[in-house]
Amino acid sequence: MTSRYLSIDLELPSMASNLRAVGLSTSVLQELDTRLELQVTGLLRLLERLGLKATVFAVGQLALSHGQLLDRIRDAGHGIGCHGHSHLNLHRADPARAREDLQGATTALGPWLPAAGQRGFRAPDFSLDPQDSLFYRALAENGYRWSSSVMRARVPSVGNLPLELQLGRVWREPGSGVLELPLGGHRPFGIPLGHGGGFWLRVLPLAWSRWNLARDARTGALPQVYLHPWELDPDQPRLVRGWRGWRQYHGQASMETRLEVL
């Protein structure tokens, strides 16, 4: 089978965008966050059983509260990258706030990150605009060599992407020299559909991700698989309903099997 690249987005469970959007109480969110260690333990056991290594993009706040989890991840042989400090959506943040968040994360994660010039970054919710040259420059200034923050399905018009990103290939942002490793996705009939991870892997038929990952490999794109530890925790309390609840919880019971197949 063609090689596929596995990454994990690691944040406090309460940082999920579907939960943040509904204004849950602090006490409820704090109780949810107590599941983080259980979720990470389950993830590490699964990866060990499958013989897989991953890049784990962690938020900087975890370094302040759960440094021992980052130690366990590193000691298990997984790489650690940066997922911002507070899971800040870059689309909605002013440039100064975005740079401040990046700097805070880089400082907090310093003991676990690779040396400057080798670091990797993933924007929360894939919210980095490939045209945002100022943020790419900030990445370079903070020692980041590469990013995996652009999902083709999430960009409103594929015409806004450089050709390499349209094709799913590695692209070098010209002003900073930072490499962008895009995640898969298509917009058939204008409908954004990702594949290989997260919501898309949980909700769409498994055959969709398998076919598209094979297609990525054939066409020179990067076949990437990704997930969050909370997506492997079907026993977590259901705190939101309706559309957001469906997006948050649907398919969690089958996520472990789907990862194993891919």
Burial of 219 (0-12, 13-18, 19+ CB in 10 A): exposed
3-state secondary structure of 186: strand
Please give the tally of structural domains in the chain. Answer: 1
Tell me, what's the pLDDT at 159? 54
Residues 48-68 have pLDDT tens digits of: 999 999 999 999 999 999 999
**Which residue pairs, CB below 8 angstroms and at least 24 apart, start in 255-259?**
255/201, 255/202, 255/227, 255/231, 256/46, 256/232, 258/201, 258/202, 258/206, 258/209, 259/46, 259/50, 259/201, 259/225, 259/227, 259/232
Beta strands in the chain (DSSP E): 5-10, 55-58, 79-82, 119-121, 144-147, 171-172, 179-180, 185-186, 193-194, 224-227
Tell me, what's the pLDDT at 155? 63
Residues 220-261 have pLDDT tens digits of: 889 999 999 999 999 999 998 998 889 889 999 999 999 999
Backbone angles phi, psi at 155, to 5 degrees: -85, 125
CATH number at residue 17: 3.20.20.370
C-beta atoms surrounding 244 within 10 Å: 16
131 close to 157: Cβ distance less than 8 angstroms: no
The alpha carbon dihedral of 112, 36, 225, 172 has a sign of negative
Structural domain of 252: 5-261
pTM for this prediction = 0.94
Quickly tell me which residue has 């197949």 as its tokens.
Answer: 261
What are the structure tokens assigned to 136, written together? 């790419």
How far is 260 from 49, CA to CA, in rounded Å? 10
Q: In what order do the strands lie in the sheet with 171-172?
A: 171-172, 179-180, 144-147, 119-121, 79-82, 55-58, 5-10, 224-227
What are the structure tokens assigned to 241, written together? 């309903």
Per-residue pLDDT of the chain in tens (262 residues, 90 and over written 9): 568 999 999 999 999 888 888 888 889 889 999 999 999 999 999 999 999 999 999 999 999 999 999 999 999 999 999 999 999 999 889 999 999 999 999 999 999 999 999 999 999 999 999 989 999 999 999 999 999 999 887 765 555 678 888 788 899 999 999 999 999 887 777 777 889 989 999 999 999 999 999 999 998 889 999 999 999 999 999 998 998 889 889 999 999 999 999 8
